[in-house]
Chain A
Amino acid sequence: MSSLTVTYKTDIGAAALQALRRLDPRYQIRNPVMFLVWVGSVVTTLVLGVMLTGTGARLPEFHQPIWFVGLICFWLWFTVLFANFAETVAEGRGKAQADSLKKTRRDVSAKKLDKSKKQTVVAANSLRKGDVIRIDAGDVVPADGQVIEGIASVDESAITGESAPVIRESGGDRDAVTGGTRVLSDWLIVRVTADPGESFLDRMIGLVESAKRQKTPNEIALSILLAALSLVFLMACATLLPFSLFSVARAGSGTVISIVVLIALLVCLIPTTIGGLLSAIGISGMQRLIKANVIATSGRAVEAAGDVNVLLLDKTGTITFGNRQAVEFIPSSQVSAQQLAEAAELSSLADETPEGRSIVALARGQFGLAERKASDIEAEFIPFSAEQRVSGVVINERHIFKGAGDAIGKLVAKRGGAMPAEVAAAVEDIARKGGTPLIVAEGPKVLGVIYLKDIVKPDIKVRLGELRKMGIKSVMITGDNPLTAAAIASEAGVDDFVAEATPETKLKYIRKMQEGGEMVAMVGDGTNDAPALAQSDVAVAMNSGTQAAKEAGNMVDLDSDPTKLIEIVEIGKQLLMTRGALTTFSIANDLAKYFAIIPAAFATTYPALGLLNIMGLSSPQSAILSAVIFNALIIIALIPLALKGVKYRAESASAMLSRHAFLYGLGGIVTPFIGIKLIDLGLTAVGLV
């Protein structure tokens, strides 16, 4: 697999600059949690300003030393900046890529054809859906489209990273061209299928540029929860002022809690860790997908991939190698294996399919037949046709045919022959074992059977087993008959299979699954896959496939690798896991912060609360400052985790839950106790407090 990403080197300087620019409140307001921190920072700055000018001496702040207010102010701003930085670093990784993609889009002209096929040169961005254009060798494809005439080799490296040119032609399974790629030879007539701004390239650029990123359903739900939590902490902190006023009045001692301390408490309590990293997690999730050479039309599709519980996998190419191989000749009782092999070899000489070649190779290998080519002998080769469903050769009055059981049966019956019982038995036996029986006949006489075997990919069973552990059912889709399908299914370890699949049966199967509440994912490339792709919850189209398939899917795999689906599911799960883990961590952190701040905040009113200072922090100022600094630094410390994602392992939900609950829940409770204490020790050591 080649990756289209040139480099992932992060430009820290640019990211930091960008983070500064995002202090703009219009940008901050999008994230309620960080907006609260922003407001807190502004208020603290104002308080600091008032203190510096020496006016407003009646503020409760004047009980706090000015250096303390200054430092709190400094670290609050850094909390906002760190969160911005996390986002810009995440974006920076995709930025270079977006820029190079944009370059390919620039200044392209197109040759538009009108009804009389007259050619006019127009700008690419004036093309609309339905326009017809001509692209000649050397031209950049100006828009996404479907080839309606011609055949050409196309360099798609701009989007796939794959340097070898691919063939695009009309009428087949390879009729899609993508804007930004380049035609290398010949010419194409293309019908445009996307308006400007909606093309594949635009979607790709949109993906890597977070500005256009739309929040996914789970992200929205999480944002609501975080906003609600922030609101209640805001309430808890805001009411503390009247509580403090009352307590001071009744206790007759101490000072009212200062606004800066309240803000510090608020910022420490609201879930800034997850709030600050949330968008970075989303962006980097998308980037992991892009790194895997998959383009999703929306983040929603990526998230849905994590929810998939049924995977429809095409047998060919995914579960088995794309081609079947001859492994045995089984002659009928009247002929020898050698005779059968000779006839089979003869009939397959002109058959350039992998199956045909494997028959020739087996015959030569087993029986030492001499090398020869189809052109060496004088014979008439009859290619496979859809009506006859047999192929063969006519040589010196010998009519040799090979084909499926029923087709050959009909053919020999027409010539007055019959299917011998032992051959019929062998056919059934091969089919039961998951192989494909190919019968060879000469005239009316059936010579025997070639056993073509589907070779199951060696690692597929393990991967499907992993999927099962995660609760994902794999379903094999095949055009084979049920007997053959069952044998391969059991060999590969899939949970279910759909045999003799047609586009309709696929669609029906998906609908049936969805009615039962399952989320279905599938891979497809042909036009006839389009309805099933459109019906699936997660639909990955092969880049090599047709335009119809690419439009019906919600992801495109640039490598055209059918096993990619498994990787996509893992990326989707990782995205959700990272959010869940950091949310848990963020909330669990609050316990320690309370122990740091509450005794400090009321030190003068109720000195007895000092007993709650279980961390033994050196002074009230140091306690509050340490909590605020920890709160800011933890964002920076967790950026790598947010970008990389929580490590994914194939295991059951219960196992995963207990590991994560332990790591991020319990770890989230313990870490800040240690962290805050260390910062306090550090502050004391440098003599700051």
Chain B
Amino acid sequence: MWLGITASAWVQLALYMCVLTALAVPLGGYMARVFSGERTVLTAIFGPVERLIHRLCGVNSVEEMTWKTYAVAVILFSLTGFVLLFGLLVGQGVLPLNPQHLPGLTPDLAFNTAVSFITNTNWQSYGGETTLSYFSQMVGLTVQNFVSAAVGMAVLVALIRGLTRHSTDRLGNFWTDLVRANLYILLPLSLIVAVALGGLGVIQTFDSYATARTLEGRDQVIALGPVASQEAIKMLGTNGGGFFNTNSAHPFENPTPFSNLIEMVSILLIPAALCFTFGKMVGDRRQGVAIFAAMTLVFVPFAAAAIGFEQAGNPHLVAAGADPTTAQAGGNMAPATAQAGGNMEGKETRFGIVNSAIWAAATTAASNGSVNAMHDSFTPLGGLVPMLLMKFGEVIYGGAGSGLYGMLVFVILTVFIAGLMVGRTPEYLGKKIGGYEIKMASIAVLLPCALVLGATALAVVTPLGKAGIFNPGAQGFSEVLYAFTSAANNNGSAFAGLSANTPFYNTLLALCMLFGRFFVLLPVLAIAGSLAAKKAVPVSAGTLPTHTPLFVAILIGVILLIGVLTYAPALALGPVIEHLNMIKG
């Protein structure tokens, strides 16, 4: 099906990948220097700021931490962020910068939202413009957009240190890594993107909402706000939490095809670049390239598939002559020439099918979750693509830091199985993979799966859960499955259609986000600690090479197989049966 996508779609997809790669390579090298503590072009500016921050916070930025100390620091930092954000959301009615006098959030919604943002998920059970004040958006959410992404990057760096160091229990200093990720990487990049988006028409204002008189003589309230500054980090930090309810489909968030390209590139930029950071930090660029290749080789076919399914549209509409172009041509023209329409339901005309489908793939491949079109309105298989990409555990690029560390967990599992096949105790980058690493990797890979399945089961059998499902049959099931997949894998993308702002869904989804974040992150740190303590085995002809096309192929196979095998029955009852019903009529 996806081989039938139009030539212009291929060109746009290729252009997107080229821009992404061209930017990711130098950024990756830069980030490696930042995290290794080397001097960069920005050291002159941010060096003193960095030292000042450490002095003000009174943290010892020199002393390195064990994995346990590092983990405690991560948890304490996230917990503090949660408490502050929760308080801020509940109390936003009395806080400043609230021109619309929006009231405080209910505890369950505040809990859900606070967890959502500290876990870098950005699941939104609310509509931004009708729920949150400017203060909540900027001081609450945007701050977490920065720091939650930085936490992911810090944990990744700790894991890389675990792989490169040997015979030590030290993994670096969390506070240093956190501050550097924010100061040297996220802030400057956001500044560039925010200014560029502002120039393209994304708004940035503290004014209260504007009121316009429509042609019918009615008043229309137009929501405004400091959008550009939040938009940049929303995309770059794989956050995805839109300022407005309609996210990047809103013209104030994403006004033009060019702003759309900038935002789409920003979605994958840091996760993709971190592959090259990894390669440089482990002293073997090929390792980074291999992982980037594995991610890209999964991403491109999936994006192309989404484009293909959407361009094909709904066969029944085509047959009925309801497709816009076939209808004009009297239904006699071949779809290949007539099909400018395809499935345009839920899509913005300024982006069209191709850029909506690429976005859908990118936003779910990375754990971004922003949308520029309604995923609920995609064709069944078009909607299966984003769902599958999330089900792979958010490792196809994935979240900032979290994507690559999740991918490295898959690499460890792959190395284990493939390593046994060459008759050696499996090793990755010279580190032997033993029972402890396998145990931790299993938790990290399998826990999100268990969360998704368990929570979905709970939702479809309990009255509270069923109460939120409005759509019939398989479609309703897909929506619930999508929501929990998104939450447990810390994506934040919503299929919509599900009435999720209820205490039941808010709480259950928040728990999925919480466990999905920390029960991956903590095992990863444990693996880092265990690997750092090991000796490094020198490379020989007997070593399983982990940079070859064959290894990349096996890695992809393992990711796809674990994802598909785990979810096949559930998917069969959701999007697969929907699709089969659709084509059967």
Residues in chain A within 8 A of chain B (CB atoms): 217-218, 220-222, 224-225, 228-229, 231-233, 235-240, 242-247, 250-251, 265, 269, 303, 306-307, 309, 468-473, 514-519, 572-577, 579-581, 583-584, 587-588, 590-591, 594, 598, 601-602, 606, 608-609, 611-612, 648, 652-654, 656-658, 660-661, 664-665
Contact = CB atoms under 8 A, between A and B. Distances in A.
Given A472-B540, A609-B576, 4 more contacts: A246-B477, A306-B425, A577-B421, A580-B420
Contacts of B561: 587-588, 590-591
Contacts of B416: 221-222, 225
Contacts of B567: 236
Contacts of A601: 569
Contacts of A309: 537-538, 540, 542
A250 B540 contact: no
A562 to B, nearest CB: 22
B544 A657 contact: yes
A577 B548 contact: no
Given A239-B453, A473-B540, A609 B419 contact: no
Contacts of B208: none
Contacts of B576: 609, 612
A602 B561 CA distance: 22
Contacts of B450: 231-232, 235
Contacts of B282: none
Contact of B425 (A217, A228, A516): A217
Contacts of B572: 598, 602, 606, 609, 612
Interface in B545-585: 545, 548, 550-551, 553-554, 557, 561, 564-570, 572-573, 576-577, 580-581, 584
Contacts of A652: 541-542
A580 B419 CA distance: 7
Contact of B421 (A218, A269, A584): A584
B9 interface: no
A580 B558 CA distance: 14
B435 interface: yes
Considering residues A225, A514, A577, which has the most beta carbons from chain B within 10 angstroms of its beta carbon? A225
B442 A247 contact: no
Contact of A661 (B421, B425, B434, B473): B421
Given A243-B460, A583-B417, A236 B577 contact: no
B536 interface: yes
Contacts of A229: 442, 446
B439 interface: yes
Given A225-B442, A517-B535, A580-B418, A653 B542 contact: yes
Nearest to A251: B473
A229 B443 CA distance: 10
Contacts of A574: 423
Interface of B: 166, 413, 416-426, 430, 433-435, 437-439, 442-443, 445-446, 449-450, 453-454, 456-458, 460-461, 466, 472-474, 476-477, 535-538, 540-545, 548, 550-551, 553-554, 557, 561, 564-570, 572-573, 576-577, 580-581, 584
Contact of B474 (A232, A236, A247, A514): A247
Contacts of B542: 309, 470-472, 652-653
Contacts of B581: 606, 608
A233 B565 CA distance: 8
Given A473-B540, A608-B580, A236 B569 contact: yes
B547 to A, nearest CB: 10
B540 A606 contact: no
B567 to A, nearest CB: 7
A660 B421 CA distance: 7
A576 B423 contact: yes
Contacts of A606: 474, 572-573, 577, 580-581
Contact of A469 (B413, B417, B541): B541
B456 A239 contact: yes
Given A243-B460, A580-B421, A658 B541 contact: no
B438 A243 contact: no
B537 A518 contact: yes
B454 A217 contact: no
B515 to A, nearest CB: 14
Contacts of B454: 235, 239
Nearest to A664: B421
B434 A244 contact: no
Contacts of A236: 449, 453, 565-570
Contacts, number: 227
A224 B573 contact: no
Nearest to A227: B442
9 contacts: A221-B416, A224-B442, A228-B438, A243-B569, A516-B538, A517-B538, A576-B423, A598-B568, A653-B542
A242 B535 CA distance: 48
Contacts of A240: 569-570
A473 B542 CA distance: 10
Contacts of B569: 236-237, 240, 243, 265, 594, 598, 601
B316 to A, nearest CB: 14
Nearest to B460: A246
- Give 10 nearest A-B pairs by CB, closest first: A471-B542, A580-B420, A573-B423, A471-B540, A228-B442, A580-B421, A471-B541, A246-B460, A608-B580, A221-B435
Contact of A235 (B419, B445, B449, B543): B449
A326 B341 CA distance: 93
Contacts of A247: 473-474, 477, 573
Nearest to A581: B421
Contacts of B423: 306, 572-577, 580, 648, 656
Contacts of A306: 423-425
A552 B291 CA distance: 44
A421 to B, nearest CB: 46
Given A224-B442, A471-B542, A602-B573, A656 B457 contact: no
A82 to B, nearest CB: 23
Nearest to B425: A307
Contact of A225 (B413, B543, B566): B413
> Which of A237, A468, A581, A653: most chain B CB closer than 10 A?
A653
A609 B580 contact: yes
B430 A220 contact: no
A306 B421 CA distance: 12
Contacts of B551: 657
A670 to B, nearest CB: 14
Nearest to B472: A250
A232 B435 contact: no
Given A218-B420, A609-B577, A661 B554 contact: yes
Contacts of A591: 561, 564-565
A653 B453 CA distance: 38
A242 B421 contact: no
A244 B438 CA distance: 33
Contacts of B166: 517
A551 to B, nearest CB: 26
Contact of A218 (B425, B543, B577): B425
Nearest to A225: B438
Contacts of A221: 416, 433-435, 437-438
Given A221-B435, A247-B474, A580 B417 contact: yes
A601 B569 CA distance: 10
A266 to B, nearest CB: 11
Given A217-B425, A232-B450, A657 B477 contact: no
Nearest to A659: B421
B469 to A, nearest CB: 8
Nearest to B443: A228
B460 A242 contact: yes
A664 B573 CA distance: 30
Nearest to B466: A246
Contact of B550 (A572, A583, A654): A654
Contacts of B548: 654
A229 B446 CA distance: 8
A30 B21 CA distance: 50
A657 B423 CA distance: 10
